[in-house]
Amino acid sequence: MIEHVLKFGITLVSFSITLLTAQLLIYKKSFSFLTNRKGRYGTIDGLRGFLAISVFFHHFIITRNWEIYGEWVSPDEVYYQNYGKLGLQFSL
């Protein structure tokens, strides 16, 4: 039980570091070309970003299950399954 909690804690910290790194990269000048594009709507791009994060989180849970249980399967919880489905349906 403690081993599962420790593994989940490590994966949660990894996920948090990834989000923090992405947030910091937004403010770098080398990525300023993304904000200067013509014909783009910031609100829709923001929504696409949240949807991409939800797909990433869905894959994160599948990978976590693989590391803990040794099986590459979709999560049993409907809540986590909807993360992947919602992100793909609305981002296309």
Residue-wise pLDDT tens digits, 22-80: 788 777 777 667 666 777 777 777 788 778 888 888 888 888 888 888 888 877 777 77
Q: Does the structure show a pLDDT above 60 at 91?
A: no
pTM: 0.53
Cβ atoms of residues 60 and 82 within 8 Å = no
pLDDT in the model for residue 70: 87
Q: How confident is the model at residue 89 (pLDDT cuts 50, 70, 90)?
A: low
Cβ atoms of residues 87 and 54 within 8 Å = yes
Q: State both tokens at 88.
A: 């793909």
Query: 7 by DSSP, 3-state: which?
Result: helix
Q: Distance (Å, rounded) from C-alpha 36 to C-alpha 13?
A: 33
Please name the residue that has the structure tokens 């783009």: 40
